[in-house]
Copies of this chain bind each other. A is one copy, B any other.
Amino acid sequence: MTSETPRRRLAPEVRRRQVLDAAVAVFSEEGFHGASMEAVAARAGVSKPLVYAHGGSKEELFAACLHREADRLLRSVQSAAGEPGDEPLVRLRRALRAFFHALTSRRDGWTVLWRQASTGPFAGEVDALRRRIVDQAADLVAGGLGLPRGAVVPYAHTLVGAAEGLAQWWLTSDDALDRTDPADALADMLVGVVGPGLAALTDTIAPSTAVSDQR
């Protein structure tokens, strides 16, 4: 606490980034209600009014954190999935790998998104984000198996939930994976568990539904 930073003037853009980073950190630790604007200010090494100047109200600030992290996550997963022409299970594995990689490299962003935001005034926004991810998964599965999109939606939810569960284990347990790339290992585990079941899905539900029924 000897660092009596003597009040530096910074460009608005830089300050805004600082404040947002601090907000993500604090929100991820304390939650939306638990975090105080003063805590955010302290974490950013800055005074409270400055947080208001750059982040707006508390809700606006939280929403900004949410959107930034959500965009990051979605973009990386989406770009990793690659072109629709590729092998389905390969695409799925790549997407999962990107997902786990994003989580591990940005832990607190993940926490803000899925744990803290699920309650309160942002449940709707988080559900929307989750829906976008589930939609990606549904596209992947439907495209890979040649099944109607509507029929695979519950399975997409299952898949995303499974990824969340595995991620939770990975982020909270202190067990180590004996692989050089943890995200790789996690993606392999998940594909190993759900891969066969998904592949067998064609026989399970295809007979009862028209394949051409694209929603």
Specify which of B31, B155, B197 is in contact with A197 (CB 8 Å cutoff): B197
Stretch in contact with the other chain, from A41-49, A82-90, A98-106, A186-194: A186-194
Stretch at the interface among A1-9, A15-23, A52-60, A168-176: A168-176
CB neighbors of B among A151-166 (8 A):
153-155, 157-166
User: Is A116 located at the chain interface by the 8 A CB criterion?
Assistant: yes
Interface residues on A, range: 35 or more
Task: Look across to chain B and name the residue whose beta carbon is closest to the beta carbon of A190.
Answer: B158
Q: How far is the CB of A175 from chain B (nearest CB, A)?
A: 8
Contact of A115 among B119, B157, B197 (CB under 8 A): B119
Q: B161, A165: Cβ atoms under 8 Å?
A: yes
Q: Which residues of B contact A120 (CB under 8 A)?
A: 31, 33-34
Q: Which residue of B lies closest to A166 (CB)?
A: B158
A71 within 8 A of B: no
Contact B162 A168 (CB under 8 A): no
Would you call A38 an interface residue if the criterion is a C-beta within 8 Å of the partner chain's C-beta atoms? no
Question: Which of B154, B164, B166, B197 sits near A196, CB closer than 8 Å?
Answer: B197
Which residues on B sit within 8 Å (CB–CB) of A161? 161-166, 168
A118 within 8 A of B: yes
Q: Is the CB of B169 within 8 A of A127?
A: no
B-side contacts of A32, CB under 8 Å: 33, 119
Contact A195 B197 (CB under 8 A): yes
From A62-70, A72-80, A198-206, give the one contacting chain B. A198-206
Where the two chains meet, the residues of A that have a C-beta atom closer than 8 Å to any C-beta of B are 31-34, 115-116, 118-120, 123, 127, 153-155, 157-166, 168-170, 172-173, 175, 189-190, 192-198, 200-201, 204
Pairs A–B under 8 Å by Cβ, sample size 5: A31-B120, A154-B166, A164-B165, A192-B197, A195-B197
In the complex, given contacts A33-B119, A118-B119, what are 11 additional A-B residue pairs having Cβ atoms less than 8 angstroms apart? A153-B173, A153-B175, A154-B189, A157-B165, A158-B166, A159-B193, A161-B161, A194-B194, A195-B197, A196-B196, A196-B200
